[in-house]
Each structure stands twice: as C-alpha cells, then as structure tokens.
Amino acid sequence: MPKLKNLSGEDVIKIFENFGFSVIAQKGSHVKLRRFVDRNIKQTLTIPNHKELDKGTVVAIYNQAMRYISESELREHFYTK
C-alpha cells in the first residue's frame, strides 16, 4: 500500500508549478498559487510554506487539488510507489 510522502511547503509548490500554477501572493507563511485554464477560468490553491507539512495538511492539499488535476497525475507526487 502506498504511503504519503513527507513533503515541505516548497516541495508542494514545485509540484504545482509543474502543473502550470505560479505563485501570485504570499501572506505570512501561506503562498497562493494560481493558473488560468482559459480567459475566464482561474484555479487557485493556498499552500502553507513550512519546512515539513503535517500528514493531514498534505492530504487536504491533495484533495483540494483533485478538483483541478486528475488523481492519476497527482498520486505519484504525493504517494510512494
């Protein structure tokens, strides 16, 4: 059974940058990422930029991102094989 990887906020930001998201703002330790699918559709994620993210936080980010990115594409970045 695959295990959830230990990820930092920076790791998660890099994962989403590979999917076309870019950093648009930061307030405190939280970074806001956004990508535009077309002129009228924007997709936004907020990531805490901590050295190590809690497992529950990583799962919450993963579930939130599945609204925009298929699970098959995300899974390899968040879970071990």
Residue 20 lies in a domain: yes
Residue with structure tokens 């529950």?
56
For residue 41, being part of any structural domain is answered with yes
**CB 41 within 8 Å of CB 52:** no
Residue 69 included in any domain? yes
Query: What is the per-residue pLDDT for 81?
Result: 82
Residue 3 in any domain: the answer is no
Q: Give the residue numbers spanning the domain of 41.
A: 9-78
With a cut of 70, list the residues of the chain below it in pLDDT: none
Query: Does a structural domain hold residue 2?
Result: no
Model pTM? 0.92
* Structure confidence by residue, pLDDT tens digits, 19-39: 999 999 999 999 999 999 988
CATH number of the domain bearing residue 45? 3.30.920.30
Residue 70 lies inside a defined structural domain of this protein: yes
Would you say residue 4 lies in a domain? no
How many structural domains compose the chain? 1
